[in-house]
Structure 1
Amino acid sequence: MLIGCSPSYDTSQAQQVEASNKQTLAQAESSLPHKAVVYQVFTRLYGNTNTTNKPWGTIDENGVGKFSDFTDIALKDIKSLGVTHVWYTGVPHHAVINDYTQIGISNDDPDVVKGRAGSPYAVKDYYNVNPDLADNPANRLAEFESLIARTHQNGMKVLIDIVPNHVARNYQSLSAPEGVEDFGFSDDNTVEYAKNNDFYYVIGQDFSVPDAINGYQALGGEAHPLSDGQFKESPAKWTGNGSRLAKPDANDWYETVKINYGVKPDGSYDFPRLPAGFEHKSAAEHYQFWQQQDAKDIPNSWRKFEHIAQYWLAKGVDGFRYDMAEMVPVEFWSYLNSHIKHAKTDAFLLAEVYNPNLYRAYIQQGKMDYLYDKVDLYDTLKAIIHDKKSTAQIAVDQAKVADIEAHMLHFLENHDEQRINSPDFAGTPEAALPAMVVSTLISRSPTLVYFGQDVGEPARENGGFGQATRTSIFDYVGVPAHQRWMNNGKFDGGQSTEQEKALRDYYQRLLNLSHSAPALKGEYQELDTYQRKQNVVGYDNKVFAFSRFSEQQKMLVISNFDQHNGKQFSLTLPQSLLKAWQFNHTETQYMHDVLSQIQVVYPIETQADGTAKLEITLAPLQSMVMVL
């Protein structure tokens, strides 16, 4: 059931609208020049050359990357991976444990800051950037604007985070344009809820810092003038993850407070709802709908975030990644995204959504361009690597999103997930290469790659608050495999191992292929089910095959997830695929592998029953990307 809609017209009309909508969507997607490749970089860590990695180390002890580390050489290196968009993570000014009082920034309390470097998702000032990232903190915004310009000059677009569900407990904008009020400035904090309050309040109770668990101490126990187990907030506000306790649990997002979007404490909505059928309407039509609403019916928080988004678009930012988007009502996204698209039609809008039941609502009604494909495809690929699922599940997962596949962004790493090369994921970077090939090539959706992934970063460091297997987003740390590739700003792999350089070369070939291959703008047909029904000898639960094709190019992708055993089988191409390919049966056709770039051709042998066969031999963990 789509959120905010109920059917009010007959089925035939709905089918006609849906068909028209699909045709419009197909035309828009066919005009795209390529599949997007998003390079997520944790901005604080990317350029850091310090290798100390002391737990709870200070910025001076462990070092920090800067905007200026993204030189033209660095950006050309990123672009060489086929990257179209750089997601600069952790840019908006969030709470940090550093003294910037000399430029007017208030100190942050360690009792409500996670780590020493702070969580990038506890934003303190939406109209400026993290002072840690600037060579001259007083000039930090201009330094980021220069980075935006350099990124554009190097042929890539810029994404930053917007965190709509919550802000830092100590939100305080020093840089808001004239007339813009801070979150909560005009709130009536004598009531738990009011539509135009930015926050929810725990009436009659003051905030209390959570009790520590597992021996946790702020700053690792280091003395600090503000680290006293107290933080003044009266009355207490609801915590970012929705806790209504004045003293949240240590596992709650206690460093943040939840934003009120006009959702009453009982869960009912206090804002205009989208009419039935709006899942079929364009962003421009959504914009017109919101223009027609009475301004007093729009919650203050909606207008604040719309202003924030427009502020960054005016700075040259090309799009946003939205944190925990499903915790915010879909009507707000319709409002915000339609306003963004009105200002910048090609803005790139990516949302963190984990509930498959909400996917279509957030795409069709919320006007998101892309959502994380985490719960199905990512989880399945990881389970296959762990020998917990068959590759047959990949086809099942892809079928679930067949109507929205172009909107489901694929990844194997990001800042929330374990590094591939950690023992809890794949144990070696090579063990996930078949998964990376499938993830990258199976649909028209963008691919996201996390910095350091392409050189096999294992994330063994314990930064303090952050733990090993994930590169810490809370601490000042170095990223050793990436640092070796970076080679003190040369970005030539001068300190990398041969294994790291080979892995980087593989990623470079794969991502550039995904960026440019005509077949990947076209259709998908899975071949896995057919092979299993035909009981193809040698094709087992560690193999997966599918086709991508367009008028310009026919492609087969065949991957062996087995780390120890090679595979040999006759891949059968069914009549349905050959018909879609407009295959010429009258003469022998040949394919070649564009991933390995080995100069060998593979004949397609036609069969009497109208099918065709291709003899395939795969080494352990090998993938072939065959084109006709």
Structure 2
Amino acid sequence: MIKMTALCAALLSLASASHAADCKPAPLGDATLYLRGGVNNWAAADEYAFEYRCDAYFLNLKASGVQEFKLADEDWTGRLTFGGDGQGNPARGGAGNIRREFSGEHTLRLSIAADGSAQLSVGPLSFKPTPPAPLTDKVALRTRFDSRDTAFKQPFGAQPAGTDVSFSIGNDVPGLKAATLIIERRQMSGNQEQLAYEPLARIPMTPRSRGLGTGFSARYRFDAAGVYGYWFEIETAQGKYALQNNKDAIYWTREKGSMGPATVERLPANLNRVRRYRQTIHAADFQVPAWARDVVYYYVFPERFRNGDSANDPRPGGGRPQDRYQDRDVERHARWNEKPFKPGTGDGSDALFNNDFFGGDLQGLIDKLDYIKALGANALYLTPVFRAPSNHKYDAADYKQIDPAFGSNADFERLCAEAAKRGIRVIPDTSLNHVGADSPYFNRFNNFPTYQPPRLPDGSLPPEGAAASSGRPSARGGGAFDGGKINPHSPYYSWFKFKPEEKDPNKQFQGWVGVSDLPELDKNDPSWRAYAYRDPDSVTNYWLDRGAAGWRMDVAPWVPDDFWREWRSAVKAKRPDALTVAETWFDSSKYFLGDMFDSTMNYIFRNAVLDYAAGKSGKLAAANLELMREAYPPQAFSALMNLLSTHDQPRALHHFGEDRDLPQAKRRLLLSVFFQMTYPGAPTIYYGDEVGLGGGDDPYNRATYPWADQGGQPDEALLREFKRLVALRHELPVLRHGTLSAPLHADEQVLVLARQLGQTWALTATNNSLQPRTVQVTLPAGLPRDARFTNALDGGVPLQARQGRLTLTLAPLSGLVLTR
């Protein structure tokens, strides 16, 4: 028996040695490869990092259904990016996505051949990742920093340029030998594709006695506006470490870390792996319109809200501009309450997306302004209303004309005027990043007059591009891609970048994110910039002159920063109190430096609140929300467009499981609305949410409002609750203007927040559990230890604190507002 065991051991040893001999160096060197796709919002997240083992890269993944993704490093480096080859398989530099189907836990194995070709297999869970080496250095582990504690950092949060910031770290055990404060400037462009930190300063920190341990301190003056990174390099007898941001994931955001208490790890060889704290430094004169923090938005997809004028409805074969979609007829719904068409679902529609119409228009909005006013909204955000062939209108055909299916320019002016009478401002939306292929600017389908360039005296044509070189383009003339052919004589030719050497017309120009229906504009072209915002009658000025109270700008990250800086100056010069809102989905600090935008569509808020109201961790929600409180200037933080539903994401009711338990989904919806109305920023109600309109991914999130006179069944009880919560916000200035401090309590189910405006306080508490919860909180400094609070929602029995502690009992899926 002993001999057999020894023989087996010897054979295993030989097999292991043979296997080790077969191992090869990692073909991608020390680069880290991540799975980046819909399963993780395309982020380079640590939990989706492949580990190289012997001859292949491995990743354990838990997912369900068909998933689309790419394999890439943090920077989407070309040679390190594997996309789809058209059949869903990995190919280096592939433009498409890799597609695989999952049903639970799996192991992915990626092998890369010497010629660079790749093979990806998906099998049962079988890989055991190498565990990280444990950190045992007690001195390093006991070293502390907290970006929200004034004992470690002053002042708190975003600051104006010229601010001196003091930093302190320390521990309660001896042995911390040295500490260095590292200051870096963040460089970020696009939709986070490029993100890097440029070193600015390494500041030796000054030691000071701290009980049994040692503290270190340093100061740094931030003279210029920007987003900075900072962290600490510390040294003990056992080596050097990074005292850095935590590992909290921030929704949609490439960088990890919600700030607050620091974590410590061994100093990595590649400093790109350090998780920086972020410090926002904004212009000293950064101002946001004062009215922004008092806003409650009503957010409308106009084609689906209300049909007020059936005469302008798109109709197949009608012969009018609104009756055609590019080179064919539109589709028209027979009934207002039908589901939107989606090609490939067997609903009887054609193969085109976004060409089906119900007939919503500006007259319908005007007709329902009293309804919007009664809801409590005082701002109307409209997705694009300018002429375009699609139902969503982001494929602009004429920036200076209201789409004929929506009405006329006079109707827009009338909408703004009628809204103003009711105290409602109107914020239109457009994209200055791309236009429609079916537009006079591009004219791929020859639906606009083709350009006939004037001939020179000898009968020859002028040089290419001459028509565009004269500056501002004319309102008439041929497009830059007339009938699918490059037209260098078009007055719009310089607006686009062409590749005439390509044979395929779809490849002769750049479609935004590869969509050929949306030709991307050259944002650096002077002629385009003049038309967009520099000219006295530019697109930007044209609609501000006609009643718009500001602008929401589509796909802001794809437009250069210097464009937005000039654009903001033009907006504020025309109308100083105009509000500028960006469409960004991630940590938007770089847009709030005082030179680009006032606000953004707050998708971090959306995901944090929806997930919390759906029953996920209150601590996770608090981490994401606290990141914004610390990173954003207060004037921008108080103006954020706080969303729940949008035309680009499934509606809130769908998120809460409308198809499984509709009554409970509506209770969770009201919990999220309660949070909206009691949190800093501008609550945003997507049309129909208030009456129980649901719907999943596009196009079902763009369904028609269920008007009763059109056969719909609006939930009137839900509407009353929405109105009650909106009214609460309007009645209590502390909910709109009050400062927000760190959470008084955050656990898996309960969040308790404190707001202060002068001598007025409001404590807001929420419970996402299906069971009642009772918690005790310590009152914030500034409140008497025996403070007495009134229930602002129902005026019930007042609550009395005892010795600085307050006991709160919360019903299931409910919220509480206590005022003093």
What TM-score do you get using the length of structure 1 for normalisation? 0.67
- Answering whether residue 508 of structure 2 is matched by residue 236 of structure 1, we say yes
Q: Deviations over 1:26-54 (max 9, x none)?
A: xx569548521111111111114833457
Alpha-carbon distance change, 454 to 20 in structure 1, aligned in 2, over 3 angstroms: same
Match of 1:450 in 2: 686
Aligned-partner residue type, residue 502 of structure 1: A
Match of 1:333 in 2: 564
- Cα distance in structure 1, aligned partners of 2:758 and 2:199: 38
**Contact 1:184/1:197 (CA < 8 Å) preserved in 2?**
no
Pick the aligned partner of 2:678 from 422, 426, 441: 441
Alpha-carbon distance change, 324 to 300 in structure 1, aligned in 2, over 3 angstroms: same
Match of 2:666 in 1: 429
Q: Deviations over 1:107-144 (max 9, x none)?
A: xxxxxxxxxxx33211111110111123xxxxx22222
**Contact 1:200/1:238 (CA < 8 Å) preserved in 2?**
yes
- Cα distance in structure 2, aligned partners of 1:526 and 1:13: 25
Alpha-carbon distance change, 355 to 16 in structure 1, aligned in 2, over 3 angstroms: closer
Gaps of 5+ in 1: 97-117, 135-139, 210-234, 244-252, 263-297, 473-477, 489-493, 533-539
Q: How many residues align?
A: 476
- Cα distance in structure 2, aligned partners of 1:344 and 1:450: 27
Pick the aligned partner of 1:314 from 532, 541, 545: 545
Output aligned runs, 1:409-558, within 5 Å: 409-422=641-654, 428-443=665-680, 445-459=681-695, 466-468=698-700, 470-471=701-702, 478-480=704-706, 483-484=707-708, 487=709, 496=713, 500-520=715-735, 521-528=737-744, 531=745, 540-558=747-765
Match of 2:790 in 1: 592
- Cα distance in structure 2, aligned partners of 1:299 and 1:355: 30
**Contact 1:518/1:553 (CA < 8 Å) preserved in 2?**
no
More strand by share: 2
Alpha-carbon distance change, 617 to 584 in structure 1, aligned in 2, over 3 angstroms: closer
**Contact 1:44/1:90 (CA < 8 Å) preserved in 2?**
no
Alpha-carbon distance change, 90 to 142 in structure 1, aligned in 2, over 3 angstroms: same
Alpha-carbon distance change, 3 to 459 in structure 1, aligned in 2, over 3 angstroms: closer
- Answering whether residue 418 of structure 2 is matched by residue 150 of structure 1, we say yes
Alpha-carbon distance change, 336 to 425 in structure 1, aligned in 2, over 3 angstroms: farther
Match of 2:529 in 1: 302
Once the two structures are TM-superposed, the CA of residue 344 in structure 1 deviates from its matched residue by: 0.3
Match of 2:6 in 1: none
Once the two structures are TM-superposed, the CA of residue 383 in structure 1 deviates from its matched residue by: 2.8
Determine helix, strand or coil for the equivalent of 1:12.
strand
Gaps of 5+ in 2: 1-185, 190-196, 202-218, 227-278, 308-334, 342-347, 442-447, 450-471, 660-664
Alpha-carbon distance change, 422 to 301 in structure 1, aligned in 2, over 3 angstroms: same
More helix by share: 1
**Contact 1:370/1:407 (CA < 8 Å) preserved in 2?**
yes
**Contact 2:774/2:809 (CA < 8 Å) preserved in 1?**
yes
Match of 2:402 in 1: 129
Aligned-partner residue type, residue 304 of structure 1: Y
Once the two structures are TM-superposed, the CA of residue 183 in structure 1 deviates from its matched residue by: 9.7
Alpha-carbon distance change, 23 to 185 in structure 1, aligned in 2, over 3 angstroms: closer
- Cα distance in structure 1, aligned partners of 2:356 and 2:224: 62
Match of 1:377 in 2: 605
Pick the aligned partner of 1:69 from 364, 376, 380: 364
Alpha-carbon distance change, 546 to 37 in structure 1, aligned in 2, over 3 angstroms: same
- Cα distance in structure 1, aligned partners of 2:529 and 2:752: 45
- Cα distance in structure 2, aligned partners of 1:584 and 1:23: 35
Determine helix, strand or coil for the equivalent of 1:440.
helix
What TM-score do you get using the length of structure 2 for normalisation? 0.52
**Contact 2:299/2:684 (CA < 8 Å) preserved in 1?**
yes
- Cα distance in structure 2, aligned partners of 1:171 and 1:311: 19
**Contact 2:361/2:405 (CA < 8 Å) preserved in 1?**
yes
Determine helix, strand or coil for the equivalent of 2:723.
helix
**Contact 1:92/1:161 (CA < 8 Å) preserved in 2?**
no
**Contact 1:426/1:432 (CA < 8 Å) preserved in 2?**
no
Alpha-carbon distance change, 2 to 409 in structure 1, aligned in 2, over 3 angstroms: farther
CA RMSD of aligned residues (A): 3.8
- Cα distance in structure 2, aligned partners of 1:410 and 1:305: 28
Match of 2:388 in 1: 94
Aligned-partner residue type, residue 379 of structure 1: N
- Cα distance in structure 1, aligned partners of 2:505 and 2:481: 23
- Cα distance in structure 1, aligned partners of 2:642 and 2:590: 19
Pick the aligned partner of 2:555 from 308, 324, 330: 324
Greater relative CO (CA pairs within 8 A, separation 6+): 1
**Contact 1:522/1:549 (CA < 8 Å) preserved in 2?**
yes
Alpha-carbon distance change, 206 to 80 in structure 1, aligned in 2, over 3 angstroms: farther
**Contact 1:382/1:425 (CA < 8 Å) preserved in 2?**
no
- Answering whether residue 791 of structure 2 is matched by residue 565 of structure 1, we say no
**Contact 2:581/2:599 (CA < 8 Å) preserved in 1?**
yes
**Contact 1:67/1:133 (CA < 8 Å) preserved in 2?**
yes
Structure whose CA Rg is larger: 2
**Contact 1:526/1:545 (CA < 8 Å) preserved in 2?**
no
**Contact 2:583/2:600 (CA < 8 Å) preserved in 1?**
yes
Alpha-carbon distance change, 167 to 207 in structure 1, aligned in 2, over 3 angstroms: farther
Output aligned runs, 1:248-259, within 5 Å: 253-259=515-521
**Contact 2:613/2:668 (CA < 8 Å) preserved in 1?**
yes
- Cα distance in structure 2, aligned partners of 1:422 and 1:206: 45
- Cα distance in structure 2, aligned partners of 1:12 and 1:334: 24
Determine helix, strand or coil for the equivalent of 1:168.
coil
Q: Deviations over 1:298-331 (max 9, x none)?
A: 7322222111111111111111111111111111
Output aligned runs, 1:114-193, within 5 Å: 118-134=391-407, 140-172=408-440, 179-180=474-475
Alpha-carbon distance change, 145 to 367 in structure 1, aligned in 2, over 3 angstroms: same
